[in-house]
Structure 1
Amino acid sequence: MSYQWPLDPADLFGERYPQMVNTGLPAADVDGVRAAITDMWPDAPGGWVREWSELATRYAGSGQHDLAALAYGWAKFPTLVDAAKRAALANQLTQYQLAAPTFGVDFDRRVLELPYRDTTTAVPVHLFTPADLPANSPVLLASGGVDSWKMDMHAMFVAAAMRLRVRVLAFDIAGTGESAIPMTSDGGAHMVRELVGYARTLGNGVVAHLGVSMGGHYSARSGLAGEVDAAIVLGGPVEEAFTGAGPSHFGMDGIIGNALGFDHRPTRDELSARFAAFSLRPLLDQDTNAPMLIVNGAEDVHVPQHDTLVFQGRRDTDVHLIPDTGHCAITKLPEVVPMMLGWLEHTLNTVAPKAHS
């Protein structure tokens, strides 16, 4: 189920340009695509998916598979509303796998069949393992959010694997990417719990969880519930973000509406009704949390400052609201990522290995 909604590509470039170039695409190429795109949805000259895909095709033709994967990632952005977007995601995966020998870590793609309600669901995951990693090493569960998925967050996840000397298990949260289930509060959380259980079998039993944007909602949930041994929340919505109909800037209402499984553009009342169940207030009222690091930009237009500051004063919790940057502190990632990895390195050194039961 999916739907299109009014969306101005100029607005998206205004918000996402730093992300486009900070993740590795040459600014001149991004500028060229930006100038060529005039409409969001048509698969035609001037259309978002067509122009990004043509850039990706040029990269692929010159053997630049890593850049082709990034460009196809933007072609399928922000969600899989039609056949052209789905084709772009498939092409992204092809180019990504072709680029794997250059990752600097061992890469393994697995499709897990995990329990879901009264059946199972296929969950593709990507494992990044530094060379000669001891078998008794921790595992870091990692995901992006509603529109930036496991392949889009590649640079951050590989940096974590190499800096921390851990195995990273990357996945798409429910309702996004290759996930086959919609984003619900209970279903998405259940999928994460199953992944945590699987991750505990891969190393010494210690599992940390890094979530970015809406992925940070799920890492906040797993951290607050004590289901993991450490959690990092980067730009995660936890409470106030779910009051009312949620964020509406830069097409985010449509992105979230698709992730939630709507087949039509929902009313604000319909979105509000779905959002109510996502509040983590019941877990915030408990004292069961693992060590947690909470980070976001002070100028975030999607997630209220409250959802970062509400963690202040909690046991074993560090909170950083970064000034002069927005959602997920995207323009200050060169400072934020080393800070997050340093915190996790220190925290993992204090966690004893666990026997998997």
Structure 2
Amino acid sequence: MSYQWPLDAAELFGERYPQMINTGLPVADVDAVRAAVTDMWPDAPGGWVHEWSELARAYAGAGSHQQAALAYGWAKFPTLADEAKRAALAGQLEQYLLAVPQFGVDFRREVLELPFQGGTTQVPVHLFAPEGLPSDAPVVLASGGVDSWKMDMHVAFVTVAKQLGVRVPAFDIAGTGESAVPMTADGGAEIVRGLIAHARTLGNGVVAHFGISMGGYYSARSGLAGEVDAAVVLGGPVEAAFTGGPPSHFGMAGIVGNAMGFEQEPTLEELAERRRGFSLRPLLDQDVNAPMLVINGADDVHVPQHDTLVFEGRRDTTVELIPDTGHCAASKLPQAMATVAGWLKQALTGVVR
């Protein structure tokens, strides 16, 4: 369930550069790979996956396993469209697990068997907790989005665990990363509900949901439905992103199409038809939401401002657009994460089950 599509590597670097350097890679190394890459798909010198994998192998050889995992993460970016990308994901996981002693938190990897469409599906989960955390601490369920997955967002999730004193189970949303099923609105939400139920057994029963980008779609959904005790939506699409024109920037149509399980590049109408079913308008029309923080960059080219501002005026909801930054406030990620951590700390205080 994968396909390649025309994608300009130089444009992709232009958009993702802030994310590359704000998630832990040295500027000089990112610049060197950027200068070397001339094409997106070939697994050969000048190809995206090749050049990033070469950097990852250099880090691994020097024992810098966490940086190797990050570099392999960019090698498999933005989706597993071929064997070289899948090999890069395998390399990322191998290096990530070798880096565990460097994490500075307790870590456990487990593979859950969760209900899915009348059967079950396996969902690998990475669980972070500060050392010595009491057993009755709250839990913050967390995920990245459609192209940046649980291992890519490691720094953000460890930050939440440490600063809040909580357990953080991190997972890949349906259709991405280690997920075994395509991304659908209801199917992905069913997996999240299974994760929420599991998360309630890990601490004192209090569970918040923190989603980034498309992960924010699912945290918006669980928050609006009142399925969690608090929800944070960072750059999540909820309505206009699905009902307006097709995603047209930086290869996003191909990224989404791959996540949805298309085996060849869909027509714009085929993609639009599947996207329309994701709109959260029915939940937005209800008034049962958990406390929510909805935050994004004001200049996001992927998610219209509407999908953040539509939450203004809801009860127990804080809305913030950060100026002079784009999707998920990537160029101001430390500022966004400080807001997220501060809000979650306050939201989880005094929640009793």
- Shorter-normalised TM-score: what interval? over 0.9
Give secondary structure in 2 for the equivalent of 1:249: coil
Offset at residue 246 of structure 1 (A): 3.2
Offset at residue 131 of structure 1 (A): 0.9
How far, CA to CA, are the matches of 2:235 and 2:335 in structure 1?
15
Tell me what 1:104 maps to: 104
Q: Provide TM-score, normalisation by structure 2.
A: 0.99
How far, CA to CA, are the matches of 2:265 and 2:350 in structure 1?
47
1:74-120 Cα offsets, whole Å, 9 max, x none, are 00000001111001000000100010101010110000011111211
Tell me what 2:249 maps to: 249
Give secondary structure in 2 for the equivalent of 1:263: coil
1:314-345 Cα offsets, whole Å, 9 max, x none, are 00000001111100011111111111101100
Which letter does structure 2 place at the counterpart of 1:35? A
Tell me what 1:116 maps to: 116
Tell me what 1:341 maps to: 341
Which letter does structure 1 place at the counterpart of 2:348? L
Offset at residue 245 of structure 1 (A): 4.8
Tell me what 1:18 maps to: 18
Give secondary structure in 1 for the equivalent of 2:251: helix
Tell me what 1:72 maps to: 72
Tell me what 1:190 maps to: 190
How far, CA to CA, are the matches of 2:58 and 2:136 in structure 1?
42
Percent of aligned pairs sharing the same letter: 74
Tell me what 1:60 maps to: 60
How far, CA to CA, are the matches of 2:179 and 2:125 in structure 1?
10
Tell me what 1:295 maps to: 295
How far, CA to CA, are the matches of 2:247 and 2:210 in structure 1?
22
Tell me what 1:154 maps to: 154
1:16-58 Cα offsets, whole Å, 9 max, x none, are 0111111111111111111111110011111110100000000
Which letter does structure 2 place at the counterpart of 1:340? V
Give secondary structure in 1 for the equivalent of 2:320: strand
1:146-196 Cα offsets, whole Å, 9 max, x none, are 000000000000000000000000000000000001000100000000000
How far, CA to CA, are the matches of 1:246 and 1:284 in structure 2?
22
How far, CA to CA, are the matches of 1:272 and 1:93 in structure 2?
33
Tell me what 2:37 maps to: 37
Q: Structure 2: give runs of 5+ residues left out of the alignment.
A: none
Does 2:273 match 1:273? yes
Give secondary structure in 1 for the equivalent of 2:232: strand
How far, CA to CA, are the matches of 2:277 and 2:158 in structure 1?
33
Give secondary structure in 2 for the equivalent of 1:278: coil
Q: Provide TM-score, normalisation by structure 1.
A: 0.98
How far, CA to CA, are the matches of 1:245 and 1:343 in structure 2?
33
Which letter does structure 1 place at the counterpart of 2:296? N
How far, CA to CA, are the matches of 1:199 and 1:148 in structure 2?
22
The answer to whether the 8 A contact 1:43-1:84 is kept is yes
Which letter does structure 1 place at the counterpart of 2:97? Q
Give secondary structure in 1 for the equivalent of 2:115: strand
How far, CA to CA, are the matches of 2:21 and 2:272 in structure 1?
34
How far, CA to CA, are the matches of 1:68 and 1:293 in structure 2?
33
How far, CA to CA, are the matches of 1:246 and 1:166 in structure 2?
38
Q: Structure 1: give runs of 5+ residues left out of the alignment.
A: none
How far, CA to CA, are the matches of 1:23 and 1:171 in structure 2?
18
How far, CA to CA, are the matches of 1:288 and 1:170 in structure 2?
26
Which letter does structure 2 place at the counterpart of 1:6? P
How far, CA to CA, are the matches of 2:94 and 2:139 in structure 1?
26
Tell me what 2:50 maps to: 50
Tell me what 1:95 maps to: 95
How far, CA to CA, are the matches of 1:118 and 1:154 in structure 2?
32
Offset at residue 240 of structure 1 (A): 0.5
How far, CA to CA, are the matches of 1:275 and 1:22 in structure 2?
30
What aligned pairs does 1:102-181 form with structure 2 within 5 A after superposition? 102-181=102-181
How far, CA to CA, are the matches of 1:29 and 1:69 in structure 2?
14
Which letter does structure 1 place at the counterpart of 2:73? G
Tell me what 1:214 maps to: 214
How far, CA to CA, are the matches of 1:118 and 1:163 in structure 2?
39
Which letter does structure 2 place at the counterpart of 1:153? M
Give secondary structure in 1 for the equivalent of 2:311: coil
How far, CA to CA, are the matches of 1:117 and 1:211 in structure 2?
23
How far, CA to CA, are the matches of 1:37 and 1:142 in structure 2?
32
Offset at residue 250 of structure 1 (A): 0.2
Tell me what 1:350 maps to: 350
Give secondary structure in 2 for the equivalent of 1:30: helix
Tell me what 2:283 maps to: 283
The answer to whether the 8 A contact 1:239-1:280 is kept is yes
1:221-249 Cα offsets, whole Å, 9 max, x none, are 00000000000000000000001453210
